[in-house]
Structure 1
Amino acid sequence: MQLFKDDAVSWLSRLADSSVDLVITDPPYESLEKHRKIGTTTRLKVSDGSSNQWFKIFPNERFEVLLTEIFRVLKKNSHFYLFCDQETMFYVKPIAESVGFKFWKPIVWNKLAIGMGYHYRAKYEFILFFEKGKRKLNDLGVPDVLECKRVHRGYPTEKPVPLIETLIKQSSIEGDLIVDPFFGSGSTLVAANNLGRVAVGCDISNAAHEHAKCRIANALAEPA
């Protein structure tokens, strides 16, 4: 398992062409800042109990170069999963298609409990499912709504490891290289390690590195 501290696009630009088996990531997309400002995403607010220093927003205008790099580093016949909200989904989909990805569908993550906010409070999040080339899922019986409780009192926007493990099992095999250019809490890296994959991630935030290193160390220390 390897961690790198850098801007996601700059880091990806140094990876070799067609060297990655699977990318799963959750960028700090632009609409998060809008939700934080109007108070609908309290876990992202700056307060005594929650520092916001690691949420340097990745602007929409940079998605084209990001997706171009992700497409380049992925091997032919591979998958790419992007966590996002509905606003970002409509922005990202046509850009991803323009750089070469096939868009299959938005997978719905049902969090099994409603969150904060207004106008029909959110109980779900999207995972956009893209393909480079042609690759079958490992289990065609898995539905497009994945039910998994959200992480309470964890790193802001932390994703559950079992949820990530489902995506990894579907789109890779043991020994494959799994990359997350915005690793945040480290969930993708932990999930990949749990399943015998090679995990490599990048994040520009000091707080993300501190959190992930402690988490990974604890996970590796647990008896098998």
Structure 2
Amino acid sequence: MGHYDEQRETELNKPTLMQGDCLEQMKEIESGSVDMILTDPPYGMDFQSNRRVVKEQFSKIKNDKDVNWLPEFLSECYRVMSDNTAIYCFCSWHKIDLFKQEIEKTFKIKNIIVWVKNNHGSGDLKGAYAPKHEFVIYAHKGRSIFRNKRVPDVMEYPKIHSSKLQHPTEKNVDMLELFIKNNSDSGKLVLDPFMGSGSTGVACKNLNRKFIGIELDKTYFNIAKDRIENS
């Protein structure tokens, strides 16, 4: 491949980053053009705690008061996805039943993956067990095309240390890369409608996937843009 071809391929694979409401921004995406969705939507918890948070500069996660947007969101996901593609959706135990119920109306759920962290998560821990896991709903549109041998549905990946966090729910890039490799090929398009600080975009860049990322919060959008461009 010559220098011109390499430069052209780089331009074609340049991430598309959108700042705004994903329900509006996704309307700009062509139907059937997305090869995989990997995202961590707001859980509808609107969490408040008396426990001191290490990084007080984090802004509150927008649209985290309810999940009224979920049916329309999933309908848009289905529209933009091509046939025989996967969607991965992170979810806490508080809303797993609701998310599962809504996702099953549109997609076929293949697994509920359990992500075990190396330390407990945030939350009001008074009078309760400290949460040390998170769920990932793995579903698909059409047939399930899995590019790996059998992988356990319980997996251990360390949580990002508080000193390195750029978003309160930032995900482990190695784990995201595993999901992307299992359900997409090099050069294919991955969408994250709730991009946060851009971890999915970094994983896609590492694996030579095209990427569309959408983020409502302008502060996190700018963090994600800078992080992906410099990864």
- TM-score by length of structure 2 reads 0.85
Cα 1:17–1:217 shift into 2, 3 Å? closer
Equivalent residue in structure 2 for 1:113, among 119, 124, 137? 119
Matched ranges for 1:43-192 at <5 A: 49-57=56-64, 59-98=66-105, 100-116=106-122, 117-118=125-126, 119-153=128-162, 154=165, 155-192=167-204
Cα 1:105–1:217 shift into 2, 3 Å? same
2 CA distance for matches of 1:145 and 1:3?
Answer: 31
1:58 Cα deviation after fit: 6.2
1 CA distance for matches of 2:19 and 2:190?
Answer: 17
Cα 1:152–1:21 shift into 2, 3 Å? same
What SS class does the counterpart of residue 4 from structure 1 fall into? strand
1:53 Cα deviation after fit: 4.4
Aligned to 1:29: 43
Aligned to 2:4: none
What SS class does the counterpart of residue 83 from structure 1 fall into? strand
Note if contact 1:27-1:58 (Cα within 8 Å) is conserved in structure 2: no
Note if contact 2:177-2:203 (Cα within 8 Å) is conserved in structure 1: yes
Cα 1:41–1:143 shift into 2, 3 Å? farther
**Over alpha carbons, which structure has the higher Rg?**
2
Note if contact 1:54-1:206 (Cα within 8 Å) is conserved in structure 2: no
Cα 1:15–1:58 shift into 2, 3 Å? farther
1 CA distance for matches of 2:149 and 2:92?
Answer: 25
Runs ≥4 in structure 1, deviation > 4 angstroms? Answer: none
Q: Alignment length, in residue pairs?
A: 211
- Please tell me the residue identity of whatever aligns with 1:188: T
1:30 Cα deviation after fit: 0.7
Normalized per residue, which structure has more helix?
1
Percent of paired sites with the same residue: 33
1:138 Cα deviation after fit: 0.7
**Unaligned runs of at least 5 residues, structure 1:** 220-224
Aligned to 2:25: 11
Aligned to 1:222: none
**Unaligned runs of at least 5 residues, structure 2:** 1-14
1:187 Cα deviation after fit: 0.3
Aligned to 1:38: 49
Aligned to 2:227: 215
What SS class does the counterpart of residue 57 from structure 1 fall into? coil
1:68 Cα deviation after fit: 0.6
2 CA distance for matches of 1:67 and 1:83?
Answer: 14
1:87 Cα deviation after fit: 2.0
Note if contact 2:204-2:211 (Cα within 8 Å) is conserved in structure 1: yes
